[in-house]
Amino acid sequence: LTLLALVDRPEEILALTFTRKAAGEMRSRVIGAMQKAACGHVPAAPHEAKTISLAKKALERDSALGWSLLENPNRLKVVTIDSFCASIVRQMPVLSGLGRYSIVDEPDEFYREAAERTAALVEEEGSRGDALRKALGHLGNSVKGLVDRLVMMLARRDQWLRHIQRGAAGPELRALLEGSLERLVESELDRISKSFPPGIAGIIAPYAQYAASNIENPGCPIASLAELDGLPPSEASALAQWQGLRELLLTNKNELRKQVNKDTGFPAGKGDAADRKREFQELLLSFDKFVDLIKALGRVSLLPEPKFTEDEWEALEAIISLLPIAEEMLSGSFGEQALVDFQGVSLAALKALGTEEAPTDLMLSLDLRLQHILVDEYQDTSGTQLSLLEALTRGWSEGDGRTLFVVGDPMQSIYLFREAEVGLFLDARSSGIGTVRLSPLTLIRNFRSEEGVVSWVNGTLSGAFQPKEDQFTGAVEYSPSEAVRESAGGRVEITLFNGRD
């Protein structure tokens, strides 16, 4: 409503959301407010008074410029992201690569058909057949294993296709993937290190050094603790030390050790050896109360090595070389039945807009028309949708009058099955979107529930979230609410039902 009082045409505003229901509700609320303003409605609540005041200004602009929005509400560009992408594709059917089509909601059978067609090239001469045979060789000649992997990758092609289309290959692609592994490892090690109570690492260190000096098997992780003088750093290069610390303190089942022996660096003996063994076992017994530490340290066993071995990379590179072939097969499989999945429409829309260096006529036209973009439920944005927003805001600069507004709640990201990445929300808040910097606002007032419910939710559910947010892993911390409505004597009760009904 605020923007409608400023623009020359309502089409200069684009409002994007995720569901048709939400888009319909948004449009009806805007038109409803303008209808009330036109009828002279006198609001009772302060927030409604503000809405009606803004609606009056929008009506004045409507009247001055002859929009007739109340008679033509479809001039409001309030649409789902999918339908906006579809409109772009319809305007550029040749360049986007999509002609007439329907969207398939459950595309798994097409992914499998494309993967099987790819696998069928194994007898073919040339580079495609060579890539197939190489990949199968690394998978024990399991066609099913290869097909399953390709199906999984096709379902997530918006995450890797842009890298392959940019020509990332060989050393560059390996560095990119290993860099992601390193970030994953370091992010997790940082969380694990924070679970150690103050001073504990310094107590463990002398025993760790002693144990390392007694390890005869150089392949034992404990051998890496010879120079440990505190907690290992939260760096990928220190993963071996973390693995050694886990091995020293926990069993293979990630439970706290009760006993140590020569395999863990505490051989049987008399004098100093006996004293060291007894002291460390007593120390282990005292760690029983550090439940969070034990649980966190157990996660070290799940962390991957941050570097590929040559065999691993050769296998991975072989499978990667098949991805564009599988994607081509998928396009053919969809095209035969004039169908496409949601990812296909989004990717085609991006293609229709061109690149920053070579924008299409449609992109240039949209750049002239769009002045303001509003995005709802941004916590459910995918990488492809982010690329779309980046394309639509190319060339925007501070003070040029154009605005980008996104709203979302990372605590309620629910569209992981549509490749939503809540980390994109966290990144937008700190770094902006494309060239557009954003000013973050945190809304904390709860108008919906009374104080008793809000307090119970704050106290009970905060533990379901991570203690610290992490953009890379998408970890979200709890954001408490403040109740506007006072308690009316009600309270929260939990009833447990045991049975089928």
Higher pLDDT, 437 or 99: 437
Instruction: In whole angstroms, give the CA distance from residue 60 to residue 48.
Output: 18
Of 84, 81, 131, which Cα lies nearest the Cα of 383? 81
Kindly state the average pLDDT of the residues 96-104: 75
- Are 119 and 147 within 8 A, CB to CB? yes
* Res 467: pLDDT: 79
* Res 399: pLDDT: 87
- Are 58 and 50 within 8 A, CB to CB? no
What confidence category does residue 360 fall into, taking pLDDT thresholds of 50, 70 and 90? confident
Q: 294-305: per-residue pLDDT in tens?
A: 999 999 999 999
- Residue 82, CA distances (Å) to 19, 87, 347, 384, 388 in order: 9, 9, 11, 11, 11
Instruction: In whole angstroms, give the CA distance from residue 417 to residue 456.
Output: 30
Instruction: In whole angstroms, give the CA distance from residue 493 to residue 106.
Output: 40
Q: 466-501: per-residue pLDDT in tens?
A: 877 777 777 888 999 999 988 877 678 888 888 876
Whole-structure pTM value: 0.76
**64 burial type by CB count under 10 A (0-12 exposed, 13-18 middle, 19+ buried):** exposed
Kindly state the average pLDDT of the residues 16-39: 93
What are the structure tokens assigned to 62, written together? 């409507």
Q: 345-359: per-residue pLDDT in tens?
A: 888 888 888 877 777
Kindly state the average pLDDT of the residues 43-59: 93
Kindly report the CA angle at 212 between 207 and 217, in degrees rounded to 5? 150
Of 18, 97, 1, which Cα lies nearest the Cα of 382? 18
Counted residue by residue, the chain has a size of 501
* Res 417: pLDDT: 47
Local structure of residue 420 (DSSP, 8 states) = B
Q: 372-415: per-residue pLDDT in tens?
A: 999 998 888 888 888 899 989 988 888 889 999 999 988 887 65
Whether pLDDT at 317 is above 70: yes
Q: 185-241: per-residue pLDDT in tens?
A: 998 999 899 999 988 989 999 999 999 999 988 889 999 999 999 999 999 999 999
Whether pLDDT at 142 is above 80: yes
Whether pLDDT at 32 is above 90: yes
Higher pLDDT, 128 or 3: 3
Of 245, 160, 145, which Cα lies nearest the Cα of 196? 245
What confidence category does residue 46 fall into, taking pLDDT thresholds of 50, 70 and 90? confident
- Residue 284, CA distances (Å) to 163, 199, 256 in order: 48, 15, 7
* Res 167: pLDDT: 61
Kindly state the average pLDDT of the residues 352-368: 78
Kindly state the average pLDDT of the residues 331-348: 87
Kindly state the average pLDDT of the residues 1-9: 96
What confidence category does residue 316 fall into, taking pLDDT thresholds of 50, 70 and 90? confident
Q: What is the mean pLDDT of the chain?
A: 88
Whether pLDDT at 419 is above 60: no
Q: 232-283: per-residue pLDDT in tens?
A: 999 999 999 999 999 999 999 999 999 899 999 999 888 888 999 999 999 9
* Res 218: pLDDT: 84
Q: 161-185: per-residue pLDDT in tens?
A: 877 766 666 788 889 889 989 998 9
Residue-wise DSSP of 126-144: SHHHHHHHHHHHHTTT-HH
- Residue 136, CA distances (Å) to 119, 123, 132, 155 in order: 9, 12, 6, 21
* Res 416: pLDDT: 54
Higher pLDDT, 330 or 94: 330
Whether pLDDT at 445 is above 50: yes
Higher pLDDT, 157 or 14: 14
* Res 357: pLDDT: 76
How many Cα neighbours within 13 Å face the side chain of 495? 3
What confidence category does residue 321 fall into, taking pLDDT thresholds of 50, 70 and 90? confident
Whether pLDDT at 128 is above 70: yes
Which of 100-104, 108-112, 449-453 has the lowest average pLDDT?
100-104
